[in-house]
A and B are shown apart, each in its own frame.
Chain A
Amino acid sequence: PRAGGQCPACGGPTLELESQRELLLHLAKRSILDKLHLSQRPTLNRPVSRAALRTALQRLHGVPQGALPEDNREQECEIISFAETDSTSAYSSLLTFHLSTPRFHHLYHARLWLHMLPTLPGTLCLRIFRWGPRRRHQRSRTLLAEHHITNLGWHALTLPSSGLRGEKSGVLKLQLDCRPLEGNNSTVTGQPRRLLDTAGHQQPFLELKIRANEPGAGRARRR
């Protein structure tokens, strides 16, 4: 209704259209930030390459999503975290992830996606370690998983979610060590090449699934 008239719904004064629109946009922002438990919109400190993002989403869309009961789906949050990579040697890489989810302790599903290069012939044994906090100039590390890789290209490597929890700093470091499988008769010839393909859109990433509440908490509350 025109400005200056009376609102037919509440009887109050009507706003002109422009300020109605501004009020609505303010309401929309407030409503989205509240529901995402954010005090303000995120400032993007770490730009994400759109090509890497597209590749990651295509990878994940190809994977059948575990069917979740409807009510759990509302409590669920899925995260893709891209790695910063340092190749510490030809057969070893260090992946650093910056996770900012306060609810990280309800993590229940973790997979590391890697694009492997044709480094060595035959089967490779890939070990994934988690770096612990530094103590007296020593960095502890925990073996999370060991996978045998026979072909190049993308690999989705399952990690124990319990091994990834409890990271207070939000920075998670995973070290990859790759060796020819014992008894593998292929001899290492020539200068070894890089293990991972991290160029452009082949960036390694973590796929995580988190429940907003501890499983069953909703049911307890309803009871």
Chain B
Amino acid sequence: TPTCEPATPLCCRRDHYVDFQELGWQDWILQPEGYQLNYCSGQCPPHLAGSPGIAASFHSAVFSLLKANNPWPASTSCCVPTARRPLSLLYLDHNGNVVKTDVPDMVVEACGCS
């Protein structure tokens, strides 16, 4: 995934760390202390459409070139997560039970154009 500078207009992963203390939730979420709230945003010009957010394979590079040479792209494409990982949470429920669960697809790891 290309590292995102704030001024980068192209589709990439924007990293933000959220501390549960900042949410006022440190009393019921015991572990971890915060998590990466990453999200995808940026423009998807035609030659980027369909290219994965990480190193594009040869096929998708050629595919992108073909697209770039086609002045009428079929449709616009969007900047979306292409890889996500679970987040392990340890929290208290309203009965004071301690619950440990792996929340699937919680952290965005890579972005790309759909």
Contact = CB atoms under 8 A, between A and B. Distances in A.
A42 B89 CA distance: 14
A9 B30 CA distance: 36
Contact of B97 (A1, A57, A98): A98
B68 to A, nearest CB: 20
B37 A78 contact: no
Nearest to B43: A9
Interface stretch (A46-54, A109-117, A156-164, A192-200): A46-54
A154 B61 CA distance: 61
Interface string A1-17: 10000001110000000
B94 A44 contact: yes
A28 B18 contact: yes
Contacts of B96: 44-48, 82, 98
Q: Say which size band chain A's interface belongs to.
A: 35 or more
Contact of B18 (A24, A45, A80): A24
Interface string B60-84: 0000000000000000000100000
B49 to A, nearest CB: 16
A25 interface: yes
- Is the contact region of chain A dominated by helix, strand, or loop, or is it mixed? mixed
Interface in A161-186: 170
B95 A98 contact: yes
A36 B103 contact: yes
Q: Say which size band chain B's interface belongs to.
A: 35 or more
B25 A9 contact: no
Nearest to B100: A78
Contact of B98 (A1, A8, A56, A73): A56
B6 A73 contact: no
Contact of A77 (B6, B7, B37, B100): B100
A79 B41 contact: no
A35 B103 contact: yes
The 10 closest A-B pairs by CB, nearest first: A46-B96, A8-B9, A42-B94, A98-B95, A80-B98, A77-B101, A78-B100, A28-B18, A35-B103, A81-B97
Interface of A: 1, 8-10, 24-25, 27-29, 31-32, 35-36, 41-48, 53, 56-57, 73-74, 76-82, 98-101, 170
13 contacts: A9-B9, A32-B29, A35-B104, A35-B105, A44-B28, A45-B94, A48-B98, A74-B102, A79-B99, A80-B97, A81-B95, A82-B96, A170-B95
